[in-house]
Amino acid sequence: MTARILVLPGDGIGPEVTRAALAVLECVISSSGHAITVVDGLIGGAALRAGASPLPRETLALARNADAIFLGAVGDPAYDHLPPGRRPESALLQLRQALGLYANLRPARVWPGLEESGPLKPQVLADTDILVVRELTGGLYYGEPRGLASDGRSAVNTLRYTTDEIARVAHRAFTLSRSRRRHVTSVDKANVLEVSRLWRDTVTAVAADYQDVTLTHEYVDAAAMKLALSPSACDVLVTENLFGDILSDEVGALCGSLGLLPSASLGDGPGLFEPVHGSAPSLAGRNCANPIGAIGSLAMLLEHGLGLPGEARRVVSAVEAVLASGLRTADIADGRTEAVSTTTFTDAVTAAYRRS
C-alpha cells in the first residue's frame, strides 16, 4: 500500500514526541515495505513564529491531500495575550472543523506494569479500559454568537447541537463498542440543559439500531465521580465537546499520566492523530516528555488512518515490552529506578519493534 502522512510537530514538547513517533514509523516502514511518505507542515505557535497564521493555507491544503495527519501539540504561552481566534490553539480548532473531524477517540487503560503509577489504589484501577468518544466539531467550542461585549463587562458562548451532529457521533460510539464490551455510557447534563435533553433523546433513539449494546445515561458531575471511584465499570463513554475535553484529562490522570493518552479524530476524510497531553511548555526542550501518547497515536494512525491493524498492534506490543523491562519516563517513574529520557525510551521501543 502507499500513503501520504502530513506531520505537524507544532509547539512545546510537540516536536520531541513527534520525533519519537516518526522513529517508530521508520521501523514500521522498513519492516513492512509499505510506501508511506511523510511531509512536514507548520501549525500553531510554530507557524506564528514563521510569520504565518496559526493554520497556514498551505498546511490546510496539505492536510486535505494527506491520507492521515499526525500532530504533536499546539499551544505557546508567548501568544497568551492574543484573542482566541489568533492563538496557536485556534489552528487545531480550525483544522478539526475544516476536515469535519467530529469523532474524537481517546482510549485510556491501565498499561501492564503501571498499575501503581496513578493516584488510585491498584485494585480500584485494575481492568480499567475506557474509550472516550468526544464530539469534536460542535458545542461551546464553535457555537455562535460568541464574544466579549465591547464594554468588557460580559461575554457569551453558545451551546448548540443538532440531532444530526449528536446522532453521527453516537453511531460511531455504538459501532466501536461492538469490538469492546458493548456498553455505552452517554454523558450529559440533562437535569439542567435543553441541549442535554436533546442529546439524551437522540442517543436513546440511535441505540435502537444497536440492540446488542447496553446504553446507560449519566450526568456529567456523577460521571466524573464514578470515573474516580470505579473506572473499570466504564467501557465506551460518549459525550459532547467540552465534557469530553474535561473527562478525557481526568481519565488520563487516573490511568497514570496524561502523557500516556493517544487520540484519533475522525470524520469522513483523512483523520488527525495526536497525543492528548498538549504542548506542556514547562517540559519543552528537556528530552523528558513521555512519548507513549505520541507513539500510541501513531498506532491509532496505522489502524484507523491507514487500515494496518497488525502494524498498530506490533507498535503497542513494543511499548508494552519496554514498560515490562522497567523503563519509565519521569511522569510515570516509581522512585525506585531512575527516570529515562524521551529518546532513551523511544530507542528502546524501536529496538523492541525490530525484535518482534
Active-site residues, by number, are 141, 189, 221, 245, 249
Map the footprint of ligand IPM across residues 90-119, applying CB under 6 A. 92-93
Q: Which three cell numbers stand for residue 51?
A: 510569520
Say which entry of Mn ion, ligand IPM, none residue 56 contacts (CB below 5 to 8 A, set by partner kind).
none
Judged by beta carbon, residue 106 or residue 109, the one nearer ligand IPM is 106
Is the preceding peptide bond at 291 cis, omega within 30 degrees of 0?
A: no
76 binds Mn ion (CB under 5 A): no
Judged by beta carbon, residue 93 or residue 340, the one nearer ligand IPM is 93
262 binds ligand IPM (CB under 6 A): no
Say which entry of ligand IPM, Mn ion, none residue 75 contacts (CB below 5 to 8 A, set by partner kind).
ligand IPM
Task: Using CB under 6 A, count the residues that bind ligand IPM.
Answer: 7
- The DSSP string of 216-239 is EEEEHHHHHHHHHH-GGG--EEEE
- The DSSP string of 244-268 is HHHHHHHHHHHTT-GGG---EEE-S
245 binds ligand IPM (CB under 6 A): yes
76 binds ligand IPM (CB under 6 A): no
Q: Which residue in 10, 56, 75, 138 binds ligand IPM (CB under 6 A)?
A: 75
Where helices occur in 104-193 by DSSP H, the ranges are: 122-125, 163-177
Beta bridge partners of 71: 8
The helix/strand count (H/E) of the chain reads as: 12, 12
Map the footprint of Mn ion across residues 162-221, applying CB under 5 A. none
CA–CA dist 47, 54 (Å, integer):
5
300 binds ligand IPM (CB under 6 A): no
165 binds ligand IPM (CB under 6 A): no
Number of other CB atoms surrounding residue 174 within 10 Å: 22
Q: Name the burial class of residue 154, with classes exposed (0-12), middle (13-18) and buried (19+) by CB atoms within 10 angstroms of its CB.
A: exposed
Q: Which residue in the block uniquely carries the three cell numbers 511523510?
A: 38
Closest separation in Å from C-beta 278 to ligand IPM: 6
274 binds Mn ion (CB under 5 A): no
Q: Which residue in the block uniquely carries the three cell numbers 472543523?
A: 97
CA–CA dist 148, 111 (Å, integer):
44
191: phi > 0 → left, psi -120 to 50 → alpha, else beta; which? alpha
259 binds ligand IPM (CB under 6 A): no
Say which entry of ligand IPM, Mn ion, none residue 16 contacts (CB below 5 to 8 A, set by partner kind).
none
* Backbone dihedral angles phi then psi of residue 226, each to the nearest 5 degrees: -65, -30
Closest separation in Å from C-beta 264 to ligand IPM: 12
Closest separation in Å from C-beta 258 to Mn ion: 9
Closest separation in Å from C-beta 214 to ligand IPM: 27
Contact map string, positions 276 to 295, toward ligand IPM, x by CB under 6 A: x-x-----------------
296 binds ligand IPM (CB under 6 A): no
- Comparing every residue's Cβ against ligand IPM, the nearest one is 89
Closest separation in Å from C-beta 255 to Mn ion: 15
Contact map string, positions 232 to 261, toward Mn ion, x by CB under 5 A: -------------x----------------
Q: Which three cell numbers stand for residue 307?
A: 487500515
Q: Which three cell numbers stand for residue 172?
A: 460511531
- Residue 10: strand, helix, or coil: strand
Closest separation in Å from C-beta 306 to ligand IPM: 22
Collect contacts of 351-355 with beta carbons under 8 A, ≥24 apart: 352/317, 352/318, 352/319, 352/321, 352/322, 353/24, 353/27, 353/28, 353/31, 353/314, 353/315, 353/318, 354/27, 354/31
225, 218 in Cβ contact below 8 A?
Answer: no
Say which entry of Mn ion, ligand IPM, none residue 92 contacts (CB below 5 to 8 A, set by partner kind).
ligand IPM
Q: Which residue in the block uniquely carries the three cell numbers 473531524?
A: 101
- Comparing every residue's Cβ against Mn ion, the nearest one is 245
Site of interaction with Mn ion (CB under 5 A): 245
List contacts with ligand IPM (CB under 6 A).
Answer: 75, 89, 92-93, 245, 276, 278
